[in-house]
Amino acid sequence: MSQGRMVNVGDVELWTEEFGDPAHPPVLLVMGSMSQGVLWPDEFVGRLVAGGRRVIRYDHRDTGRSTTVDFDSHPYTWAAIKDDVLGLLDAYGIGAAHIVGHSAGGLLGQWIAAEQPDRVLTLTVIGASPLGGREGQVLMRALMGQEQPPGSLPPPTPEFVEFFTKAAVNPPPAGRREQIDFQIELARVLHGPALPFDEDGQRRVEERLHDRAADPAAVTNHQRAGVSASEFEPAGILHRVVAPTLVIEGTHEPVKPGHGALIAQEIPGAELLMIEGMGHTLPPQVHRQLADAILEHTGDRPE
């Protein structure tokens, strides 16, 4: 696999990694909140490259090997994280790319596609909520046991709520082993009940994530960025998206169940693909189906 490269984007440095022929159509993989770019699995990336794509994945600010900040003295908002995506494309000299976003990365992709359509060749959204839906507020009400008001997005599953309700009353994990064990159990919940969960494989993933992070605790700055500007999502603009859009959701999505269909309803001409058994992660069982769908969606379009 490729070696990483640091790029300057505004006042931060982002760790990035590029695969494939630079002459091939560019696919930018945007991971979710508090998530490192290497959570885009190597096998999945390899399938995209084998299909003739130039693939870039990266660590958001405050994740992995990218810049970490003191949020108290250098606060930022999710608009800044969105602008990091555009700055990364500029740093690579890419005018427009096929954007593939997972979870909050899918929300960022919607935001960019609605506001700067010239930068997005196609949009693929995986396990995400519709831009403007205030999914964070829905999640917070669910964790606090509050009733959702009419018109809100569907809440997370009871299993997801139970996990974090229990975590909230227990001491936070201390030390590398406890932190990794906690992340494995979280991954089990996010994975969902339908497909076999590889605990040993997940431990290797979590060990890698923990050990390559400049500051494992810095990821919580993403939460602070959301709280500091809770109304950061522009609403009512998804109809502006002109990029061909593929919305993907697992049939066992625990965090944002049913949100994919709502995105597809708001974006003109969007296609919805439900993947049997998938939860909120990208397990080996779905790599081929995911990659094939994205290769088809991003193929034979002008760059």
- Going from the N-terminus, what domains does the chain have, and what CATH number goes with each? 5-298 (3.40.50.1820)
141 vs 6 pLDDT, higher one:
6
The single-letter code of the amino acid at 274 is M
- Asked whether residue 151 carries a pLDDT value surpassing 60, the answer given is yes
pLDDT value, residue 66: 98
Tell me: the pLDDT tens digits for 218-269? 999 999 998 876 677 899 999 999 999 999 999 999 999 999 999 999 999 9
Tell me: the pLDDT tens digits for 44-67? 999 999 999 999 999 999 999 999
- Asked whether residue 136 carries a pLDDT value surpassing 50, the answer given is yes
- Asked whether residue 302 carries a pLDDT value surpassing 50, the answer given is no
Tell me: the pLDDT tens digits for 165-199? 999 888 889 999 999 999 999 999 999 999 999 99
The single-letter code of the amino acid at 115 is E
- Asked whether residue 99 carries a pLDDT value surpassing 80, the answer given is yes
In the predicted model, what is the mean pLDDT of the chain?
Answer: 95
pLDDT value, residue 29: 99
- Asked whether residue 301 carries a pLDDT value surpassing 60, the answer given is no
Give Cβ neighbours of residue 238 (< 8 Å, ≥ 6 apart).
110, 114, 130, 131, 132, 263, 266, 267
Low-confidence winner among 99-103, 124-128, 145-149, 290-294 (lowest mean pLDDT): 145-149
What gap in Å lies between CA 81 and CA 138, rounded to an integer?
21
Beta bridge partners of 9: 12
Opening angle at CA 152, ends 79 and 83, nearest 5: 10
pLDDT value, residue 227: 82
What gap in Å lies between CA 24 and CA 157, rounded to an integer?
40
Opening angle at CA 17, ends 15 and 22, nearest 5: 135
What gap in Å lies between CA 126 and CA 237, rounded to an integer?
19
Q: How many other CB atoms are found less than 10 A from the CB of residue 172?
A: 10
Q: Using H for helix, E for strand and C for coil, what is the string for 226-245?
A: HHHCCCCCCCCCHHHCCCCE
Q: How confident is the model at residue 291 (pLDDT cuts 50, 70, 90)?
A: very high
Entry pTM: 0.96
pLDDT value, residue 303: 43
pLDDT value, residue 294: 98
Q: How confident is the model at residue 3 (pLDDT cuts 50, 70, 90)?
A: low
What gap in Å lies between CA 143 and CA 179, rounded to an integer?
21
pLDDT value, residue 143: 85
